[in-house]
Amino acid sequence: MQVFFQTIIGGISLGAVYALVALGFSLVYRTMGLVNFAHGNVVTVGAYLASTFYLTTKLPFALAMLVAIAVTAAIGLVIERVLRPLENRDFDLMLIGTIGFGIVLDALVIMIWGATGRAVPSPVPAAPIELFGLRIRTYDLVVLAIAAVATVLLVLFLSRTKRGAAMQAVAMDHEAATAVGIHVGRSNAIAFMIGAGLAALAGGLVGPLLYVNPALGGALGIKGFAAAILGGFGSIPGAIVGGLAIGVLDSFAAGHFQGYSELVTFLVFTVIIMIRPTGVFGERTVNRA
């Protein structure tokens, strides 16, 4: 029983990070219909930036995160500009274009920071909390709290601000949105900026949990994308639920199937997607003839 709950805790801890990654995927997708396969690599960039500001320039962790988010958001704007011609085009082409972009970012990261990685000491040195024989890392609670706050802020932004409402409109029908005078390009740019910022948040937060190296984002990206799909692609609550679900699924697979965990995780994922292609919160779109 203890193993069961501890496994859930471990799964949720990484699941929160997957959720943040999934959130970025979903936000960009719902606003501009772009599946950004380079998102995982943006996570790597964010992780490196955050750890660089934290370790090298000795900024406080929170400040380092904010700077990293700002810089990564700016990078997001650049990516959006380059990929703009792909928007609302052939889906497969788009997918491949972003994969290409991911390859480029990956190479750039290696060129700038080298192929080996770095360890980031935890900014919250407090000892783990002990509860009914279960151990919960304080840093995990911080990550969960930040993920929750980020989600709430995002939802508030989308529902309460004018710009957010405009983005919602673009998400629903970009032609109609254009017709009522919404600047679609700007909405897309902002979506991408926030998406990249979320990636940096995820990357920066995961740094002290794991080890920052060029391969970091690839693994998080694939799991995060799977999470977004599992939750219902484009859905904000879906991204959160999907992220936690993938995290927990992963942990249990690791516990029960040991070395074969990856095989099991992806087989289960495939089966779920085949049974319910639209995910947990996704809505079935109708074919228009």
Partner 1 sequence: MVRPRATAISAVAVLALVVAAGCSAPGGDKKESGSDSGPIKIALVDAQSGQLSSLGAWELKGAKLAVTEWNAAGGINGRQIQLDVFDDQADPTTGTNLARKIDSEGYIAMIGTAESAVTIAMAPTLKTAEIPNITSGQSPGLVAVGSEFLFLNGPTSTTYDETLAKYIVDQQGIKSIALITNNGSYGKGEHDAFTKALTARSVTPVADQVVTTDQKDFSAALTSIRQKNPKLIFLGAEEVESGLIVKQARDLGITVPFAGAAPQGTPVFLDTAGAAGAEGTIVSSPYLSNDISPASKKFADAYKAAYNEDAELHGAKAYDGAQIMLTALKNSNVATGKPLADAIRATKYQGLLGDFAFDQTGVGIFATSIGKIQGGKLVAAAG
Partner 2 sequence: MRYRIATLAIIAVAAWLLPYGLDSYAIHVVNVILIFAILAVGLGLCMGVGGQVNLAQVAFFGVGAYATAILTTRAGWGFWVSALLAIAATMAIGLLVGTPALRVQSHYLGIVTLGLALAFTNWVTNAQIAGGAEGISAIPVPTLPGVDLSSEYLYYYLELIVFALVLAFGLFIVRTALGRRMRAMRDDALAAGALGAEVPVLRMTAFLLASVYGGVAGVLYAGLIRYVAPESFSIANMFLLLAMVIIGGRQSLIGCVVGAVGLYLVREWLVDHPTVAQLAYGTVVVLVVVFAPTGLAGLPKRLRAALGRGRAGSAARLQPFRPYETRAEPAGQGAPILEADRISMHFRGLKALDEVSLSVTAGEIRGIVGPNGSGKTTLFNVISGLYRPTRGRVRFRGRDATGLAPYRLARAGMSRTFQNLRLFGDLTVEENVLVALDRSATWHSWHYLLRPVHVLRRDRDLHRRARESLDRYGLTEFAALPPKSLPYGIQRRVEIARAMAAGPALLLLDEPAAGLNGEEVRQLSEIVRSIRDSGVTVIVIEHNMGLVMSLCERITVLAGGRVIAEGEPAEVATTPAVIEAYLGDSMEVTG
The number of C-alpha atoms within 13 Å of 240 and in the hemisphere containing its C-beta is: 13
Q: What type of residue sits at position 188?
A: N
Kindly give the pairing relationship between strand 134-136 and strand 129-131: antiparallel
CA distance 153 to 244: 19
Shortest distance, CB of residue 134 to partner 2, whole angstroms? 29
Q: Which does 144 bind (CB under 5 to 8 A by kind): partner 1, partner 2, none?
A: none
Count of residues interacting with partner 1 (CB under 8 A): 38
Among 72, 98, 213, 235, binds partner 1 (CB under 8 A): 213
Say whether 58 sits in a helix, a strand or coil: coil
Residues 6+ apart with CB under 8 A from 43: 21, 199, 200, 202, 203, 206, 216, 217, 220, 221, 224
60 binds, among partner 1, partner 2, none (CB under 5 to 8 A by kind): none
Shortest distance in whole angstroms from residue 12 CB to partner 1: 10
The alpha helices in the chain, defined as continuous H runs, are: 2-32, 39-55, 61-83, 91-113, 138-160, 162-172, 174-179, 184-206, 216-231, 236-257, 261-275
Nearest-approach distance from CB 158 to partner 2, in angstroms: 22
Q: Rank residues 145 and 263 by Cβ distance to partner 1 and give the closer one.
A: 263
Q: Which does 251 bind (CB under 5 to 8 A by kind): partner 1, partner 2, none?
A: partner 1
* For partner 1, the closer CB: 80 or 140: 140
Q: Which C-beta is closer to partner 1: that of 77 or that of 119?
A: 119
213 binds, among partner 2, partner 1, none (CB under 5 to 8 A by kind): partner 1
* Cα angle 158, 164, 165; round to 5: 95
Nearer to partner 2, 10 or 224 (CB): 224
Closest of 219, 198, 248, 231 to residue 9, by C-alpha: 248
* Residue 59 near partner 1 by CB under 8 A: no
N-to-C CA span, the chain: 53
Q: How far is the CB of 238 from partner 2 (least distance, A)?
A: 14
User: Amino acid identity of 93?
Assistant: L
Nearer to partner 2, 157 or 266 (CB): 266
The binder of 108, among partner 1, partner 2, none, by C-beta within 5 to 8 A per type, is partner 2
Residues that bind partner 1 (CB under 8 A): 2-3, 6-7, 9-11, 13-14, 110, 115-119, 121, 128, 130, 135, 137, 209-211, 213-215, 219, 247, 250-252, 254-256, 258-259, 261-262
